[in-house]
Chains A and B, each alone.
Chain A
């Protein structure tokens, strides 16, 4: 047998599919006797010295590892790991005598059989989706869609804890506490309070501003109708304005564009609350690409904005601010006090007029109220009948399934029991609907089932699809396919999946999946050193994340090959990012595909600043972090975390700190304790050493020494344990595309499946992952097709 096979992941693929029963006498009734006689001696001879009582390399201890897999899932994972490393001949390590042919067969045979038995025995319970709570994003989207009301529903909710593999929609990881329950009640009441109104129609106000009023307000910056960089136009209402309800702002303007500059960006904000830190909140922004006069409309709800406290004399009342947000980053000229400096080379917005109306409603009570509570004629009816009508409309949408008469009756009983406490019908109705919005049927994706697996119903499938691809409740069309039970038909399902991917709501999937899979949120958490990168603007971080998400979105929508995540000849850029990367002629903030220069070493995720920055220290690159990221996120083979007694780097030698990272890691790897793991970590990151902390190409590493910088050469060449030389970023890409396509494809399949199902992938899923991976590869790694396949897979249709 070839003991030095490196394509370990291919073997694993074969592993469960084949399930070769080797000629080892196994006494099924008493595996532990077999174990003691046949297996333990091998472990004792070959493994225990490093994985026993004295030392637990890679945190694996074999002499006490239970053989009772049923009792503890993690034991099964550990044995699986054992099988992987002996199959790949990674263990025993090179410098130790290998397992004999017979020892290998006996050990691997026993582990394989034991695992197979475990998978069989647990197939009915394992790999099951649990009732999972809507996470913050899903709750936000679902409440907005259900009530039609724009509001920050998840503001007070604590962050959701991610699962081990980084996903925030994992049913087991999403927990519930009394505090969350409290927020759910308060949020539901607050939202329903805004939607369900009582009493007569309020006064409507309308103001038109032809010029920026209150010219010397705060006295610092000149206001004008002609807006240069960051200049503002203010429409201020001191008295006649409401404090709640929907508002509509119309801005009529023209603009002056400039050659070789970006477009002006018009931002509308509403405020102003001087006693808090939040003076204004942005209603929206628009990039202006034409000089023509035009009118744009912005809407929102006043109660979402920092409104002034009435009667506070020092500052004027409600303020609508229009601002030209465009900033090319050039230094600002000094102007005279109170006069805005002239910048003739930058684009300008001319405000003709600003119109403000609130509260906006075409009739009273307003649309959202009627959608929930029915039309005015309903108010003639008996209250109980009215409430029953409201519930029959609301509950099926809230619970994402049909509801029974007896369920409605329960809510009606509640309504009856509380009606007297409330002065009006509307208030009692609000409280009754609040009850629905804290019910598990709303807060969780409920799929009632016993101990055994069963196929999902059409309604459950609709919710699964909708939360997978849109992070929100099913829309009307999807619900109708559930209602007539046609969704379980293959062609209807396929057509719905494609419709959902094409729909713009699928940006929720792109956003959530890429954030969690690629760990993009870290971009915000790494602070960029002002010393090393003095010109770096933090607003660029959003553009970096944007590049990666738009890149993924393009591959998805165009059904392109996912191999481009490893290497591509294009990436997505907007003006700010193009400037960062050194590309000319890209204007505006919209992302578009840009053909990469042949020598520019970008392409694929590993050339994208988001990935490079989030795995840096903010001052410099971080080869180990980048390496771990590649192995975890791209290859689904994360190295074990370092043991607690890991020795620190060579502090005693003052020269150590003068070495390049590559050299430091080399010193580090000379230590046996470090080497066993780091020889398969460092090279992956070393290859990217030409990219600095903010993702720019470099041929020298700058390092701060006292107040000055010294430079060291970049060395980005290293060797993987299998002997492959990685020559810098290009070499790494080539290696990934040529040698790691299978593990990468499998990794993407596993992560997508974990996200789609909202649960962790376990051993019992391997067979299906094999199948999906095979199809995915045979189909040219087409991304959209893979999503369709996953949504059609057996696991996706099984509770």
Chain B
């Protein structure tokens, strides 16, 4: 495992260098273990190079549909202002309209952001309980195979990821901390201390669990559920510690990038998105994780550093067809598509097993609102890139009778190797226009 030289043409260091500009150099990845090594190493090299990954990005304030959707379906559509920004990848993505989850009326206009990756009905209304999100289902499946089973990213106070109990999984907000966690090697003492802490954590959690029986006796239904929630989070943490222990002993992936400085200006949405995207590319490329969600965020303030934008973003999204507001909104959304384009560039620039990282990463990019101005949760903008699908088209599903978005999720789950034939409100294993290449 320690062979320093690289002979596996499937994963050449130079390709890595190409991938992310000057950001990365000379990583000694496990995926780069020479193919002349032991059989086990060979096995890892092969499997790592072809492992499927999944990332999902949700724009909580939506995208202005007329600037996104082309007029006509098919592969010869005319580029729209937003698609213009990602035209270099035209052959690598499919744009869908006419998809949504059913029954998404919620307790407020933005409630469907809670269920974008889950498809649970009636978000936030009486009796609502969320269900597991797509990424978490995948993370359960690949847990233990990478340093962290998943990464959930967002600006403060939101997250796309929900556990199997329907508990929102707090997300990470600091690129610097993620970098630290994934790439910065501790000293020998620090690693020893971490291992010791993990072991102590295990014994303390063990003791808590042993007490579960006492408390669970003869409790009423809702109380029992609350305790179940408590104990399952204890159990989950225990599992994670177990997995961590294996990983703590192994050296972290080395990347040539400096630890980034977090962007202090919380209104500089674009700088924050870009920095997060490059952390995501690093994490995927080094196979530190295979599942990432990223809530692109929203703001009740003026985004910084986008020329021409002077109005509060959320306010702009409720443009009520006011031209001047739409013009400003367009500037923000174009910038978001440009940032997304850079991310696609990064993934596509990294070669893996004769293909690119983008080929191995299913990218879901879209929004939980079809028309943010009126909080319409139907006709969502949904873009799937990479992941080994057939791409290049715009596929328009029925505007009045939307196809279930969860059908897309079944296919994405299957791509990750899960043997499932349904997810949430799905009615089929895929949708028209989403086919394996």
Interface residues of A (CB under 8 A from B): 59, 72-74, 77, 125, 128, 130-133, 158-159, 161, 164, 171-172, 175-182, 185, 277, 410, 414, 417-418, 421, 431, 434-435, 438-440, 443-444, 446-452, 525-527, 529, 531, 617-619, 641-649, 651, 657, 760
Contacts and interface: CB of A to CB of B under 8 A. Distances in A.
B321 A648 contact: yes
B203 A448 contact: no
A73 B127 contact: yes
Contact of A179 (B170, B218, B221, B377): B170
B222 to A, nearest CB: 4
Contact of B170 (A158, A410, A649): A158
B204 A176 contact: no
B52 to A, nearest CB: 25
Nearest to A174: B226
A434 B200 CA distance: 11
B322 interface: yes
A179 B125 CA distance: 26
A59 B126 CA distance: 14
Contact of A644 (B156, B170, B233, B376): B376
Contacts of B320: 648-649, 651
Contacts of A418: 200, 203
Contact of B124 (A164, A277, A444): A164
Given A158-B170, A448-B215, A644-B376, 13 more contacts: A77-B126, A125-B220, A132-B226, A159-B156, A175-B167, A176-B230, A177-B168, A179-B170, A410-B207, A438-B208, A444-B230, A642-B374, A760-B126
Contact of B233 (A181, A527, A760): A181
B312 A176 contact: no
A443 B226 CA distance: 12
Interface in B199-228: 200-201, 203-204, 207-208, 211, 215, 218-223, 225-227
Given A77-B126, A177-B233, A531-B310, A644 B105 contact: yes
- State the 5 A-B residue pairs at the shortest beta-carbon distance, nearest first: A651-B321, A158-B170, A527-B301, A178-B236, A178-B237
A130 B223 contact: yes
A159 B378 CA distance: 29
B105 A185 contact: no
A164 B233 contact: no
A644 B377 contact: yes
Contacts of B200: 418, 421, 431
Nearest to B376: A644
Contacts of B234: 178, 181
Contacts of B107: 164, 641
Contact of A657 (B127, B225, B322): B322
Given A125-B221, A649-B321, A131 B374 contact: no
Contacts of A617: 312, 315
Interface in B124-157: 124-127, 156-157
Nearest to A448: B219
A177 B264 contact: no
Contact of B126 (A73, A421, A618, A643): A73
Nearest to B172: A179
A545 B300 CA distance: 18
B169 interface: yes
B392 interface: no
B369 to A, nearest CB: 10
Given A527-B302, A644-B376, A176 B229 contact: yes
Interface in B233-253: 233-234, 236-237, 240
A181 B202 CA distance: 12
A434 B373 CA distance: 49
Nearest to B262: A277
A168 to B, nearest CB: 13
A325 B221 CA distance: 55
Nearest to B124: A164
B375 to A, nearest CB: 7
Contact of A180 (B106, B204, B233): B233
Interface in B94-134: 104-109, 122, 124-127
Contacts of A178: 163, 233-234, 236-237, 240
B311 interface: yes
Contacts of A185: 201, 204
Contacts of B229: 175-176
Nearest to B326: A651
A538 B236 CA distance: 42
A181 B156 CA distance: 19
Contacts of A527: 300-302, 312
Contacts of B124: 164
20 contacts: A59-B105, A74-B126, A131-B226, A159-B157, A164-B125, A172-B222, A178-B233, A178-B234, A178-B237, A179-B170, A181-B233, A185-B204, A277-B264, A417-B203, A435-B208, A440-B227, A619-B312, A641-B109, A645-B376, A648-B321
B148 to A, nearest CB: 12
Nearest to A642: B375
Contacts of B220: 125, 128, 449-452
B168 A526 contact: no
A73 B129 CA distance: 13
